Amino acid sequence: MNIVLLGAPGAGKGTQAKLIEEHYGLTHIATGDIFRANIKGGTPIGKLAKSYIDKGALVPDEVTCELVKDRLTNGEVGAGFMLDGFPRNLFQAGELDKFARVDLCINIDVDKCLLMDRICGRRVCSCGASYHVSTLNGATTCAKCGQPLYQRDDDNPATVEARLDTYASQTAPLAHYYEAQGKLFTVDGGSGTPEQVFAVIKQELDKYIK
Ligand code: AMP
């Protein structure tokens, strides 16, 4: 079973991906995480990606598609893969269809005002955990592993505004792309807890994965 997770920055793709990964054993591949690891490691891809990420723009398609193609064709994907943050435009979706099969697109729908608040208040840990300042009660370390929490460089209001615009103009149309293929499942990601959102996704996934 191969899944594409669609949703604006802050919609909860990463959180749902973790829950899906734990429950169904699908391999979580997040292009944003791959770029951040490259930036941290000071690689040529990282240097190139940073200049786009800092502006809230998309990293060029050639680089991104090659990275995902390599990961999917040369890496382990176990019971299937779950792409988080890829594809992000129609060109990438077309390329993905050339090198892999997509069974379902889960579109996590969240209102823009809520997205702004979620992203600007987001604090993350290098272990992958993510929190919102409103629930941290002043804590500065990760409840799961004890490492210090930090704010992503691109989680500031100006960059977030640009990322949301990029999403609306380039990524949101992918919902129609997958709908036309009969592969779209949209879930409300704005009015429940992560566990409640996952329960709705699980109902759908249980139809495919036993
Ligand atoms: P994310 O962690 O998914 O919010 O991604 C962070 C940033 O990485 C995005 O704002 C883009 O600049 C870049 N990025 C991630 N995935 C892609 C992609 N599929 N295509 C182009 N750029 C991407």
pLDDT confidence of residue 141: 98
What one-character DSSP code corresponds to residue 156? S
Residues with CB under 6 A from ligand 1: 9, 31-32, 35, 52-53, 56-59, 64, 85-86, 88, 92, 154, 163
- CA quadruple 58, 14, 96, 164: dihedral, nearest 10: -30
pLDDT confidence of residue 126: 93
- List, in order of start, the domains of the chain with CATH numbers: 3-111+161-205 (3.40.50.300)
List phi, psi (to 5°) of 108. -95, 110
Annotated active-site residue in 36, 50, 71, 88: 88
End-to-end CA distance of the chain: give it in Å, rounded. Answer: 11
Cα-based distances in Å from 193 to 45, 60, 92, 153, 166: 36, 34, 31, 26, 26
pLDDT confidence of residue 210: 72
Q: Candidates 16, 35, 163: which one to mutate for ligand 1, based on the most atoms within 8 Å of Cβ?
A: 35
pLDDT along the chain (210 residues), means of 10: 97 95 95 96 97 96 97 88 98 97 98 94 94 96 97 93 96 98 98 96 92
* Rounded distance between C-alpha atoms, residue 88 and residue 180, angstroms: 17
* Rounded distance between C-alpha atoms, residue 207 and residue 60, angstroms: 36
pLDDT confidence of residue 77: 86
